[in-house]
Chains A and B, each alone.
Chain A
Amino acid sequence: MKHNDNNSAIRLRRVSKSFGEQVVLNGVDLEVTRGETVTVLGRSGTGKSVMLKLIIGLKRADAGHIELNGEEITSMPLEELNRVRKTVGFLFQGAALYDSLNIEENVAFPLRRHTTLNDRERRERVRELLARVGMEREGAKMPAELSGGMKKRVGLARALALDPEIMLLDEPTAGLDPITASEINELIREMQQERKITSIVVTHDMRSVKSVADRVAMLNDGNIVIEGSIDDLKKSNDEFVSRFIEESGEVH
């Protein structure tokens, strides 16, 4: 069912999700327009990653509607959902590279299954993607041989393999030193500018927000408490928002 009547690439309406007694999301509304990058901020355990997994259908929402490019995905059968998933790139928090495959095979994984590229073309595409993230010399290595930052780069290359229209990035700079984190942020920014990809970046890193976000949404107690620019957040009178901004080292 396609309702492509506006410019929204991702739309969440009254989305709720609970695990047993614990309510993680409680009627979340969020809209991301095409080409826009929204960062979702919030404390650990507030359901930011769950929200991303709901958007790509890895978890099913208890209530509410989720639309990707105008298509309602919450009630979609798996075959249809897989068609939509091919238009979405997902960078997992720990990169989630496949341990049994080397770096080239990791990046080639979606290409091998969803494209008609022959071996030579696929190798060329993988090389191109790895070069884009500065990992062209590491193709033969196994994931266990890479540092955290390198894994994130390869994860980014794999997420970009199918030229996605939408990118979902779960804590892209978590656990990285400031220099590597800044490099990853720069890479994300460049890719957004080059490809005009719609993105949601889940993070609690304010440097990441400043570097990549067009708009910020803050999640607390299962709801988005504020949405706007980083300046709007700084001006907010909401106690939680003010405290979050202060504790993260940002000043009014």
Chain B
Amino acid sequence: MKMKLWSQNGGDAGAISVAGRATGWQKPAATERKRESTGALLIGVMQWLGELAEFCGRVVKAAVTRPFEFKELVRQMDEIGAKSLPLVALAGAAIGVVLSLHTRDSLIRFGARSMLPALIVLSIVKESGPIITALVVSGRVGAGIGAELGSMKVTEQIDAIEASAVNPYKFLAATRVAACMFMLPLLTIVADFCGIVAGWLTNAMAEPMPFKLFLNYGLAQADFADLLPATFKTVVFGFIIGVIGCFQGMRATGGTEGVGRASKSAVMLASLFVILADVVLVRLIITFFPS
């Protein structure tokens, strides 16, 4: 629909520009079209952000008003948290292995081999663990929520919930968003642990060292400001993943194709916003929790 609208506008702009060239006072057609398409894109983005903000408001309001949907919340925590555990653990372990392999040679070259445990622990706990967890969850859960709610929307199940005098923002969205916010920090702790263990194992193959000693060296350089804010920033990631997944799903239109679009866009936008939020959160953590 938007494409058609754009093309129609583009055509009109072209006609004006042709006339413009003859009289010498109009912009060239290509420039006009570019300006119009940029304008339409900006309006589209602003409209999407406005609708997203309104959606967030409805979800937050639904989440804090009675009755609470505890049973559905527990079901979603299992779906989002427990079932993401193997994937998150594996991703965390892979990061630990890669970090250990990459940094060992470099540190030896600079004569800083003893810093390896600290480097692995700090880089996993402060950044790699939280962001990898958020991206893995936004892939698995964001797509799942987008597809499930999108499918419910196009098969009128969301209408049926509303017709039953139940608030779908409470039953469907608030429970999923809250489950994401609760489970992200827990999954991050699992990813951190698996990453540190895998990093130690990889290092131990080249240079045997007890795990306790590795951990002691690693944590000797870390304090409260390194561990807690980095782990709990994932609550924000959870909010982003949950809200964007639900938002894209609940506004799906156009049958199964719409469900596919909702699912894809949920993953893409959730991942993008997680990365952008990470930039802001890291800056805030450095400002408010200096090491």
- Seen from chain A, the residues whose Cβ lies within 8 Å of a Cβ on chain B are 53, 56, 58, 78, 82-83, 85-86, 88, 90, 92-94, 96-100, 109-110, 113-114, 158
Size of chain B's interface in residues, with CB distance under 8 A? 16
CB pair B156–A114 under 8 Å, yes or no, is no
B163 touches A98 (CB 8 A): no
Is B165 engaged at the interface, CB distance under 8 Å to the other chain? yes
Contact B164 A97 (CB under 8 A): no
Q: Which B residues, 131 to 177, have Cβ-Cβ distances below 8 Å to chain A?
A: 148, 151-152, 155-157, 159-167
Tell me whether A58 and B152 are in contact (CB under 8 A): no
- For B163, list chain A residues within 8 Å (CB): 56, 58, 85, 88, 90, 92
In angstroms, how far is the closest chain B Cβ from the Cβ of A18?
Answer: 16
Residues of B at under 8 Å CB distance from A?
Answer: 67, 148, 151-152, 155-157, 159-167
A91–chain B nearest beta-carbon distance, Å: 9
Q: Considering only CB atoms, which chain A residue lies closest to B67 in the complex?
A: A113
Which residues of the other chain, B, contact A113 by a CB distance below 8 angstroms?
67, 164-166
- A83-B165, A114-B165 known; A98+B157 contact, CB < 8 A: yes
Residues of A within 8 A of B67 (CB): 113
Contacts A85-B163, A98-B157 supplied; 13 other A-B pairs, CB < 8 Å:
A53-B159, A56-B163, A58-B162, A78-B167, A85-B162, A94-B156, A97-B157, A99-B151, A99-B152, A100-B148, A109-B164, A113-B67, A113-B165
What separation, in Å, do the CA atoms of A110 and B167 have in the docked complex?
A: 12
A92 touches B156 (CB 8 A): yes
Q: Is A96 within 8 A of B165, CB to CB?
A: no
* A92 engages B160 (CB within 8 Å): yes
Contact B155 A94 (CB under 8 A): yes
A78 vs B151: C-alpha distance when bound (angstroms): 25
